[in-house]
Amino acid sequence: MEAHIKPLLLHAHATGPNPIKIAIALEALHIPFNVKFWDFSDDPNTGVKGSSFLSINENGRVPALEDPNTGVVSWESGACMNYIRRVYDLGNLIGPPGGSAQDLVDFEKWEYFLLSTLGPMTGQVNWFRHYHSQKNDDALQRYVAQTYRCYDVLEGQLKKSGGSSILPSRVTAVDYHFEPWVRQHGFAGLSLENYPLITKWLGLMGCREEVREAYCKIQKK
């Protein structure tokens, strides 16, 4: 199928976790894509807050995804992921494993939990640990506690598969959403010591071909 598909263009940053999810999904579906790297500045040509990038995503954040096959431009990793699934995952390799109303909700609730909670809480830990101009230990501890609370929830869910996948029956795009955020726990100064199933799941994810290929592409600046 990929022979007929023109490469998509994934707008990314060398270390930010959100674009990697999309690269993993594209690799899983064997969709050809190129990567354009941006920095976090407001430089008009190179930065996500500069005029070139803002004409693609007015929110000034990566990922954004351009598809020359359809002319569709998407941004927000959830929207990019679901666009890819609707257009390119016709065999349902990475979507909800079952078709019941409960199956669809189960997929979406874990996807939204990452997008609205685990990802942003970890992002705030990173902010207050590494980037905020003043030390603010209250804020840091609040976001650390919230991220560990998310880890508790995830650890509980992983019991259903023995640590193989977040939805019990197989790896899906939900795992792709979580993988880069959990992988960066060390940068956030968080430990997986109390989370044996998250540790196991992360190890298994790291061995998957689509994950390895995605990291090669995103880190190959």
Q: 189 and 141 in contact (C-beta within 8 Å)?
A: no
Whose Cβ is closer to ligand GSH: residue 197's or residue 211's? 211
Q: Among residues 11 and 197, whose Cβ is nearest to ligand GSH?
A: 11
Q: State the minimum distance, in angstroms, from the CB of residue 63 to ligand GSH.
A: 6
CB 38 within 8 A of CB 53: yes
Cβ-contact 19, 9 below 8 angstroms: no
Minimum Å distance from CB 57 to ligand GSH? 9
Cβ 118 to ligand GSH shortest distance, Å: 11
- Return the number of the residue (61 or 185) whose C-beta is nearest ligand GSH: 61
Residues that bind ligand GSH (CB under 6 A): 13, 16-18, 40, 48, 61-63, 76-78, 115
Q: Which is nearer to ligand GSH, 84 or 197 (CB)?
A: 84
Nearer to ligand GSH among residue 172 and residue 184 (C-beta): 184
CB of 173 to ligand GSH, least distance (A): 13
Q: Which CB atom, from 16 or from 96, has the smaller least distance to ligand GSH?
A: 16
Q: Cβ of residue 17: shortest distance to ligand GSH, in angstroms?
A: 5
Count the Cβ atoms, other than its own, within 10 Å of residue 50.
17
Min. distance of Cβ 116 from ligand GSH in angstroms?
A: 9
State which residue has the least CB distance to ligand GSH. Answer: 16
C-beta closer to ligand GSH: residue 16 or 95: 16
DSSP the chain: -GGGSPPEEEEE-SS-HHHHHHHHHHHHTT--EEEEE-BSS--TTTBTTSHHHHTT-TT--S-EEEETTTTEEEESHHHHHHHHHHHH-TT-SSS-SS-SHHHHHHHHHHHHHIIIIIHHHHHHHHIIIII-SS--HHHHHHHHHHHHHHHHHHHHHHGGGTTS-SSSSS--HHHHHHHHHHHTTTTTT---TT-HHHHHHHHHHHHSHHHHHHHHHHH--
Q: How far is the CB of 55 from ligand GSH (least distance, A)?
A: 16
